[in-house]
Amino acid sequence: MDGVREFLEDLQKHHRAMGHFLGLLHILIGRRLSRADGALISAGLTWRDVATLLRTIRWEPDAVKELGIDPESLPPRDRQRYWYSAISQAHVSSEAATIAGDAFAVQLARAGYVVGSAPGAR
């Protein structure tokens, strides 16, 4: 998971995920992610792992607003539960999430990352 942590820190540092939070969640959970040189970053994570990473690197809590979720409706004191609840409400397996993931994958390709196709895609 260190590779994913470095990936997320890079996104934070360069503000690459702004406006693409649903796509980011979709990619982290359901797609293969690697560097341009072929080094594997992730083959997909569980919701719990993603929630842990977002908590650990202190991802901006207001990012849930991009998902149409009011941050006040999520558990305020437990960031693990906060992120897990947000992921559960994000519908990361929906067609909208797949489209958002595809759009974000294009942007990530420009930054030197390779994102696999969505689950079930041909």
Residues 47-101: tens digit of each pLDDT: 999 999 999 999 999 999 999 999 999 998 899 999 999 999 999 999 999 999 9
In this prediction, residue 120 carries a pLDDT of 74
Residue 122 within a domain: no
| Residue 11 near residue 98, CB atoms below 8 Å | no
Residue 26 within a domain: yes
Residue 88 within a domain: yes
Instruction: Give the number of domains in the chain.
Output: 1
- DSSP assignment of 18-76: TT-HHHHHHHHHHS-EEETTS-EEES---HHHHHHHHHHTT--GGGGGGGT--GGGS-S
Residue 30 within a domain: yes
Note the pTM of the prediction, 2 decimals: 0.94
Residue 10 within a domain: yes
Residue 120 within a domain: no
Q: Range of 56's domain?
A: 2-115
pLDDT digits (tens, 9 = 90+) for 3-17: 999 999 999 999 999
| Residue 20 near residue 90, CB atoms below 8 Å | no
Own/partner long-range contacts of 67-74 (Cβ < 8 Å, ≥24 apart):
67/21, 67/22
